Amino acid sequence: MSEVVQMPGHEAQELQRAFDVFNQVSQALTQAYQGLQGRVESLTAELAVANGELRRQYEAKEALSERLSLLLNALPAGVVVLDSAARVSEANPAACQMFGSSIVGDLWPRVQEARLVATEAPGEWHLDGRRLAVVESPLDSAGGRILLMHDVTAAHGLKAELARHQRLVAMGEMAASLAHQLRTPLATALLYSANLGQADLADAARIRFASKTTAQLQRLERLIQEVLLFARGESIGCDTLLTGELLGDAAQTVQPLFLEKKVAFRVICGASEVIVTGSRKALAGALVNLLENALQACTAGGQVTLWASESGRQLRIGVRDTGAGIAPEVQLRVFDPFFTTRAQGTGLGLAIALGVVRAHGGSISVSSVPGEGSEFVILLPIEEAAAETH
């Protein structure tokens, strides 16, 4: 018969309390485990959703990358990507076709020096008989760049043809006026030359008639030269000169005319060292046209000022006179071909000046108050390199 061992009362109570604590801890651990298991399941579900979203984003970016690649390959414009060392990292087929071979891996400055020839227009280059417009943009913060190249050869040809067509149309519209302007000095020259054939003509009269005949023929020659210059148009060259030299050329040409008419003439040049690139002859001729126009507006005792200044990235050249001024309705037409308010004017001087300035990427404006004189101002762009040298 087994014997039941009885524990003292206090030990039984301690043991019971221990069992109770153990049960509580076990229950807490069970609940914590269940909570942890639920959290793991929730995180697993969230991770699956996130992975699905990432997968969709990746697939979308892959599709976008493929479309961009197809687009770059199909673009007629050349696209060249440069890294921070200016080395060509990518070039689409159009760019490789422009250069005749792949330029990937080449240093762009060497490619530019060996293959591209600068034109008179900023950002445009000659390449094997074609004309390219190159636009550069930053690609990333690491110093990469992207170059977009357009073949603008045909566009330049069309632009020149359109300008020529517009000039010819203007000449056709004003042919009757031109014929009248040619006929007047020609008839006068014929009259004077007929007098030269008189046998009893005195030597003094013969010299006077010969001088007048020569003057009328010179007027005819100048008129024809202006017409041809307007019809042909102006293309800018690659001369490099200082603004002070340009103003000096124009001033030297017109100085005798001002002395003869007793009109004061002064030159104020605040931009003597600014470099001008283009056609020295054409620019000086445009200034001469403006100065002669100002001289015609003045009477004896008047004054004409030729000035220049630099403003930001622009060169300003002005011709100011103290003449009678220009009426507002006339100001709207002063640059129209063959428009003139003078009986012996051709109406081409200001039109030619405008064409020359536009060919150099600039513009001309006129401001005038009747009775207080007029001022013509030319704005010419200053190239970055020239500005830094200055």
pLDDT of residue 376: 93
pLDDT digits (tens, 9 = 90+) for 27-85: 888 888 888 888 888 888 888 888 888 888 877 777 776 676 666 666 678 888 888 88
pLDDT digits (tens, 9 = 90+) for 215-266: 778 767 766 666 666 555 555 566 788 999 999 988 888 888 888 889 999 9
What is the separation of C-alpha 106 from the centre of its chain, rounded to a whole number of angstroms? 29
pTM, entire model: 0.47
Sheet of 374-381: strands edge to edge?
264-269, 303-311, 314-321, 374-381, 363-368
The answer to whether 75-151 and 235-390 have equal CATH topology is no
pLDDT of residue 390: 45
Tokens matching residue 10? 């206090």
Using CA atoms, how far apart are residues 163 and 351, in angstroms rounded to an integer? 13
pLDDT of residue 346: 59
Residue of 164, 379, 359, 157 whose CA lies nearest to 278: 359
Task: For domain 75-151, give the fold.
Answer: Beta-Lactamase (3.30.450)
pLDDT digits (tens, 9 = 90+) for 179-198: 655 666 677 777 778 877 77
Q: At what angle do helices 175-196 and 153-173 cross, to 10 degrees?
A: 60
- What is 154-233's CATH number, 1.20.1740, 1.25.40, 1.10.287, 1.10.10? 1.10.287
Query: Which of the 8 DSSP states describes residue 84?
Result: T
- The residue behind tokens 């060392």 is 85
pLDDT of residue 22: 83
Confidence of residue 387 (pLDDT cuts 50, 70, 90): very low
Residue of 11, 13, 15 whose CA lies nearest to 23: 15
Average pLDDT over residues 323-330: 86
Counts of helices then strands in the chain (DSSP H, E) = 11, 13
Burial class (CB in 10 A: 0-12, 13-18, 19+), 342: exposed
pLDDT digits (tens, 9 = 90+) for 79-97: 888 888 888 888 888 888 8
Contact yes or no for 128/100 (Cβ under 8 A) = yes
Using CA atoms, how far apart are residues 264 and 208, in angstroms rounded to an integer? 30
Domain boundaries, the chain: 1-71, 75-151, 154-233, 235-390
pLDDT of residue 302: 92
Per CATH, the architecture of 235-390 is what? Answer: 2-Layer Sandwich (3.30)
- Per the prediction, the chain carries an average pLDDT of 79
Average pLDDT over residues 345-373: 81
pLDDT of residue 388: 45
pLDDT of residue 377: 94
Confidence of residue 282 (pLDDT cuts 50, 70, 90): confident
Using CA atoms, how far apart are residues 211 and 214, in angstroms rounded to an integer? 5
